[in-house]
Amino acid sequence: MGITARSLPTLPSPRGPLTEALTASLRDRPAGRLLAVPPRPDGDPWGDDHQLALYLCYELHYRGFARVDPRWEWEPRLLAVRRRLEDDFLDAVRGLLGPVEDLAVQLEALLVEPLTGTGPSHHLLHEGELWQAREYLVQRSLYHLKEADPQAWAIPRLHGAAQAALVAIEYDEYGGGRPERAHSRLFAEMMADVGLDPGYGHYLDAAAAPALAVVNLMSLFGLHRAHRGALIGQFAAVEITSSPGSERLAAALERLGAGPAGVRFYQEHVEADAVHEQLVRHGVIEAAVRDEPDLEADIAFGLAAGALVDDRLARHLLDSWHSGSSSLRVPLADAPALVGRGG
C-alpha cells in the first residue's frame, strides 16, 4: 500500500469478548443486528480489549473501515457502548493521576529539559537498533498518520484569540497549504524510507494497548465539548516538549541509516514545535483561560493525562526492549527471534 493510497483499513482481529462482539456487529448494517456487547465492560480499562474497542468506536469518526457502513458513526446503541468504555477509561486515568498539579506549575516544569533522560528518544539515540526504531514508528503511526486530526475537533469549540492561535498551529500541521508538507505525509514517507508499510491503519493489529491509549485519549477529549480544555492541555504537552525529542529522534534515525526522507519528519518538528510551543502557551492557553476561566482545571487535567499515557507507552517500549522482547503484538520481520509483549 503506497503513501497516497486511499483504501480504507480493514477491521482488526478481536482481542477479547468486547472486540469480538463489536467487530461482528460492525460487519452488519446498523439496523440489522442487536449490539451484542456486554452492558458493562468488566475488563481492564488499560487492556487490549478495552482500548481496541474504544479505538474502533473512535475511528468511525475519522476514516472508518472497509466494508463497515458509515452510518455506524452515529448509531445510538454504539454510542451508548462507547460512553461506558469512556467512563471506565477516564476513571482509570484519574485513578492513576490522583490530585493534578496547578496549570502554571505543570507548564513551568515542561519548559525545563532534564539534564539526563531515559525515554525512548534517548535510548534510540545512544543505543537503539534499527528494529527498535522501526517498532517505535509503528506504535506512533496510529496517531501520526492522522496527525492533528484529533486536535482539530477543538477549533469550533473555541473562539476569539484562542481559536485563531489554534488554527495557526493546525495550519502548519497540515503543511501550510502544501499537501506534500503535511506532517502525516512526512511521517508516511519516513515509514517507507525505513521499510515500513505507510498505509493508514496498516499496523493496527500490531500496535500495543499503550499506543492505542495515547490516541484514544486525544479522540475522547476531542469528541466531547466538555473536554475541550483537556484537549488543549494534551496538545500543549506535545507541542511544548516535542522539539528536543524530535532532534534526538532525527539524529537516531540518521545514525541508524535512514535517508533524507527518513529524518525529514522529525527535523521539521525541531523548528516548527519550537514556534508552536510559544503559540500554544500564550496564544491558546492564556487566551482560553482569560475568556473562560473555568477551563483552567480541565487544561491542567489534559496536560497531566497526556503525560500519563505517553509515559505508559514509553515504559512499555523500554521494558520490552531492555528485556529482549518486541514491543509489538505482532513483531516485525527484523525483530531478532523475539516474542511480542502485546499491551
Q: What's the whole-number average pLDDT of the chain?
A: 91
* Tens-place pLDDT, residues 68-93: 999 999 999 899 999 999 999 999 99
**Radius of gyration of the chain, Cα coordinates, nearest whole angstrom:** 19
Cα distances (Å, whole numbers) of residue 17 to 13, 22, 48, 158:
12, 8, 11, 38
**pLDDT higher than 70, residue 337:** no
The answer to whether the CB of 89 falls within 8 A of the CB of 50 is yes
* Tens-place pLDDT, residues 49-68: 999 999 999 999 999 999 99
**pLDDT higher than 90, residue 290:** yes
Alpha carbon distance 135, 287 (integer Å): 38
DSSP state of 225: G
Mean pLDDT of 283-290: 96
**pLDDT higher than 90, residue 1:** no
Domain residue extents for the chain: 17-96, 101-322
**CA angle, 332 then 334 then 340, to 5°:** 45
43: exposed, middle or buried (C-beta count within 10 Å: 0-12, 13-18, 19+)? middle
What type of residue is 54? L
Q: Give me the count of residues in the chain.
A: 343
Alpha carbon distance 58, 265 (integer Å): 26
The answer to whether the CB of 221 falls within 8 A of the CB of 234 is yes
The answer to whether the CB of 148 falls within 8 A of the CB of 166 is no
* Tens-place pLDDT, residues 140-172: 999 999 999 999 999 999 999 999 999 999 999
The count of other CB atoms within 10 Å of the CB of residue 174 is 18
CATH architecture of 101-322: Up-down Bundle (1.20)
Assign 112 a pLDDT band (cuts: 50, 70, 90). confident
The gap between the terminal CA atoms of the chain, to the nearest Å, is: 26
* Tens-place pLDDT, residues 295-323: 999 999 999 999 999 999 999 999 999 99
* Tens-place pLDDT, residues 169-186: 999 999 999 999 999 999
* Tens-place pLDDT, residues 202-231: 999 999 999 999 999 999 999 999 999 999
Report yes or no on whether pTM surpasses 0.75: yes
Alpha carbon distance 141, 330 (integer Å): 15
DSSP state of 283: I
